[in-house]
Amino acid sequence: MALPACAVQAFEPPRQPERGAPARTTCPRQHSRVEAELAASRPGSVAASVRAGPPRGVSHGFHSRPLLDKPRKASSSLAGAACAPLFALLSRGRRRRMHVLRRRWDLGSLCRVLLTRGLAALGHSLKHVLGAIFSKIFGPLASVGNMDEKSNKLLLALVMLFLFAVIVLQYVCPGTECQLLRLQAFSSPVPDPYRSEDESSARFVPRYNFTRGDLLRKVDFDIKGDDLIVFLHIQKTGGTTFGRHLVRNIQLEQPCECRVGQKKCTCHRPGKRETWLFSRFSTGWSCGLHADWTELTSCVPSVVDGKRDARLRPSRNFHYITILRDPVSRYLSEWRHVQRGATWKASLHVCDGRPPTSEELPSCYTGDDWSGCPLKEFMDCPYNLANNRQVRMLSDLTLVGCYNLSVMPEKQRNKVLLESAKSNLKHMAFFGLTEFQRKTQYLFEKTFNMNFISPFTQYNTTRASSVEINEEIQKRIEGLNFLDMELYSYAKDLFLQRYQFMRQKEHQEARRKRQEQRKFLKGRLLQTHFQSQGQGQSQNPNQNQSQNPNPNANQNLTQNLTQNLMQNLMQNLTQSLSQKENRESLKQNSGKEQNDNTSNGTNDYIGSVEKWR
């Protein structure tokens, strides 16, 4: 039987290296590799079929047979001779890269095997350790038949359950602060949400005397009518946050429509295409950037009803609201804002129908902005509007000649501005303080009878708090804002007194409702008692007559006992109620008058009971 040409060439003596082939080296491994590559380049050779190996990206595995430099048997070469021409078509560099790739795959297989065996050994050791612990704990139960197999299954189930719990915990609580781990929240009592927010003493001692009308702020705001809320936004007082609460965080029959990417929201009344809120986030800066009291009072009516005839304009109620802040913190926050490039050049400062001239209101800087200015330069400017800004924006500037400083002396001007700001603030529908966010939310809800969806958040760390100043600079800032310091002290006292007054009123209302419920329940109890007695007497009249030879005498005795019981019960009830409600009057009256009042109250209460019967 004749062998094929490829098999005959395999048994021929090795040929000389071709021209251009690499020379023989002293390294036998490299020499055998070069010879194998030369043999593989010949079509039909046995070495080509041996060196062909797996295709690109496929490995023989860790237990694969090593590469052979010697030719295999003729039978195996015949089986792989068909693949030799394809491998021979590849270049030498491509074949070399394929060999390197296969060796890398063999190294990866080795790593996988080592990792698998290591994990198996670790699991085996862990199984023995946990088994020993399990046998120590549940040793007395080992006498039960086939306990070894059952314990292994139970141990495996416990381990799997623990791993599953860890995975679920990582998904539910990815951070360190997990709500589910705060177990003390279930045991500890719920704290008062309106506690002292400035970390000061909870006991408040008032300094100013205010009337009941000053403390009771209850606005009958009709959102479906013509009433309008006007928000006076003072710079760096947290007004932006409060303004967003008004348009995004308030419960309304028709909520404001806020679109993504737009600052302004559409806040229409229910069933009307008319706004109920005049603020930055509803109508924009319609009266100028950060318009003050003087500008808003003269601008808002004309903006809202400008297109209507004066005789056809509705009689609106304009409810002004604002937010105040500690003057030192506000001043530092404004300085940091100016450092970042804020100028508020768009502010109009319109007063008495005209804006101020450059001589009346000079500028503190010459360039486009005042960015990067140091604090000393910011304080040295005598025309800086940041000084006493809150008093200036809350007062009526027409009383002092607007921005013309030559109308009256400075001392008299400051006094008029401060008194005007205090008066306007006291008669406002509502004002809040940045340092008391939760109390601000509470007073707004009680004033306008409108509730917020989520509670306000108190931020104690701000840009102003990050500025470190010494005592000398702080005193100078307080001196530059001495009017604001006095106004804030007045506003804080009024704010906290209003809060305490509203809380006390809420507690009294809750106590009154509880007393009415107790009276109602006591009346129902007496009513059911007398009804049950009347039904018992009407059901067995004959039995009573047969048992009692003298029914009239028995009835008189029963009536006397019932009346005595009722009188004693009514006296106890009326005494307890009268002691709580009229404690001062009982101390002043004599004992005889007390008995008369008690008897009268008893007769009235008995009369009401007779009506129920």
267 with 282: CB under 8 angstroms?
yes
Q: In what order do the strands lie in the sheet with 318-324?
A: 277-278, 228-232, 318-324, 430-433
DSSP string, 198-251: TSS-S-----S---HHHH-------TTTT-EEEEE--TTSSHHHHHHHHHHSB-
Backbone angles phi, psi at 231, to 5 degrees: -100, 115
Bin 384: left if φ > 0, else alpha if -120 < ψ < 50, else beta.
Answer: beta
The catalytically annotated residue of 31, 60, 128, 290 is: 290
CA distance 173 to 577: 54
* Count of C-beta atoms within a 10 Å radius of residue 152: 14
The H or E element that residue 594 is part of is helix 591-612
Bin 560: left if φ > 0, else alpha if -120 < ψ < 50, else beta.
Answer: alpha
Active site residue 233: no
Strands (DSSP E) found in 413-556: 430-433
Read off the tokens for 74: 């003729």
DSSP type of residue 352: T
Read off the tokens for 112: 């996988």
Contacts of 434 (CB under 8 A, 6+ apart): 237, 238, 323, 324, 325, 326, 329
Q: Which amino acid is at 76?
A: S
Residue 287: which of 235, 230, 356, 246 has the closest Cα? Answer: 230
CA distance 398 to 403: 9
CA 604 from centre of chain: 55
CA distance 386 to 364: 11
Terminal-residue alpha carbon distance, the chain: 132
DSSP type of residue 452: B
40 with 68: CB under 8 angstroms?
no
433 with 323: CB under 8 angstroms?
yes
Residues serving a catalytic function are: 290
